Amino acid sequence: MKMRSKGSNLFVVLIIAAMFVALSSSFAEAARQLRLGAHYPAGYFVNNGFRRVADRVKEATNGEIEIVLYESGALGSYEQVMQEVIRGTIDAVTMYPTARFSKKFEIVATPALINSYEDLYKLMKKESPFYKYLKSIYEECGTVYIGSFIDSIPGALIRKGKTIENPYDKSNKACQMRVMAQTTLRKWWAAMGYQVASVPYAEVFTSLQTGVIDGDSGSGPEGAYLAFGDVAGTFIEYPVSFFLLDFAMSKKTWDSFDDKTKEIIVNAFEAETESVYQEARESHQKYRKIMQDAGIKILDPTPEQIKLLTELAYEVSWPETEKFTGPEILQDIRAYMGR
């Protein structure tokens, strides 16, 4: 039998070793991909902000960490994804916090914490009592709060054929208004004279079209127009509430990173907060104009009317929030905001 030379054996060993290194590298790269669940569709400006965060992280880690954005609820609703983030089976979520995970999240839905985008920008600064409190709630849920992107200040979209005669007083509006399932928010809309209704988001368009409901309170101008523009007659500005899109990460995933990687992720997010804030403001004005051009009527409150909306929230909504948060945090926020 002819014996294989030592050189030939060495060549085979080197080939096997190279294949092993290549396979190991491939597996390592796959393990560095992070799944980030998002419920908004591709192209929405807040999603674009998260995409830029992912690009920053990839560049700063030399490709070792790749955040993959799963849009349009590809991983499930934001509540479903948040549940998996808590369990550690999905790495991160972009979400609007709900009381399903903590009753303290009612604070995010509390009207009259702000009256403008400038107020909202101040509210979300790191030194804000609101920011610190929100961070603590996520920690209690077993997740890591990276921060929040400002989404919108929502108003009320009213269907075609329905008129609200006195939108800025407490008179009976004779209007079935879809309101998110958060008690503090529902209290305010009811006190404003609306009949509060519960309709799944996926059914809102059809419900407006058929008159099952008369309005929806869950979107700013961009979201309202893109989703319901075909059935919209009026958009009423109520500058007392706001929507954020929070960036929360699985503690299991977070704890797997070294301090340098954690810093990279936080810095990448914070680097985009200003851009997304400006885009939120621009989106609001842009889509107001688009709605007006499409024949949708826009109503704006006077400063005196905004004061009424705010005082009503202090009266009916804040005591509801205090049941879950206690009064101190709201007092601290009000003092910080100079309200």
- The per-residue pLDDT for range 273-300, each reduced to its tens digit, is 999 999 999 999 999 999 999 999 999 9
Q: Where are the alpha helices (DSSP H) in 61-103?
A: 78-87
Is 265 among the domain residues? yes
Q: Do residue 144 and residue 161 come from a single domain?
A: no
For residue 310, the enclosing domain spans 155-241+295-337
Q: Do residue 66 and residue 210 come from a single domain?
A: no
At residue 32, the pLDDT reads: 83
CATH of the domain at 143: 3.40.190.170
Nearest to 235 by CA among 227, 243, 247: 227
Q: In this structure, what token pair is assigned to residue 333?
A: 């926020």
Is 26 among the domain residues? no
The DSSP element (H or E) to which 159 belongs, if any, is strand 155-159
At residue 201, the pLDDT reads: 85
Q: Do residue 190 and residue 333 come from a single domain?
A: yes
- Give the integer Cα–Cα distance in Å for 78 and 83: 9
Q: Output the furthest CA–CA distance in the chain (Å, rounded).
A: 102
At residue 16, the pLDDT reads: 47
- Give the integer Cα–Cα distance in Å for 79 and 90: 12
- Give the integer Cα–Cα distance in Å for 307 and 302: 9
Is 3 among the domain residues? no
At residue 6, the pLDDT reads: 47
Stretches where the chain sits below pLDDT 50 are 1-6, 10-30
Q: Do residue 91 and residue 144 come from a single domain?
A: yes
Is 9 among the domain residues? no
**Residue owning tokens 């690009």:** 55
At residue 21, the pLDDT reads: 44
Q: Do residue 133 and residue 258 come from a single domain?
A: yes
- The angle formed by the CA atoms of residues 235, 238 and 242, to the nearest 5 degrees, is 110
- Give the integer Cα–Cα distance in Å for 314 and 158: 25
Q: Do residue 42 and residue 165 come from a single domain?
A: no
Q: Do residue 237 and residue 250 come from a single domain?
A: no
Residues 6+ apart with CB under 8 A from 201: 218
Phi, psi of 66, deg, nearest 5: -125, 115
DSSP code at position 104: G
Q: Do residue 318 and residue 173 come from a single domain?
A: yes
At residue 20, the pLDDT reads: 46
Q: Where are the alpha helices (DSSP H) in the chain?
A: 6-31, 45-60, 78-87, 106-109, 117-123, 129-140, 183-191, 204-210, 221-228, 251-255, 259-293, 303-316, 318-325, 327-337
- Give the integer Cα–Cα distance in Å for 283 and 222: 6
Q: At what angle do helices 318-325 and 183-191 cross, to 10 degrees?
A: 170
Question: How many domains in the chain?
Answer: 2
* Pair 225, 290: CB distance under 8 Å: yes
Q: Do residue 35 and residue 184 come from a single domain?
A: no
At residue 41, the pLDDT reads: 85
Is 18 among the domain residues? no
Q: Do residue 52 and residue 179 come from a single domain?
A: no
Q: Do residue 132 and residue 279 come from a single domain?
A: yes
Would you put residue 116 in left (φ > 0), alpha (ψ -120 to 50) or beta?
A: beta
- Give the integer Cα–Cα distance in Å for 158 and 231: 8
Nearest to 52 by CA among 223, 280, 283, 267: 267
Is 110 among the domain residues? yes
- pLDDT (tens digit, 9 = 90+) per residue, 230-244? 999 999 999 999 999
Is 12 among the domain residues? no
Q: Which residues pair with 33 in a beta bridge?
A: 66
Q: Do residue 333 and residue 203 come from a single domain?
A: yes
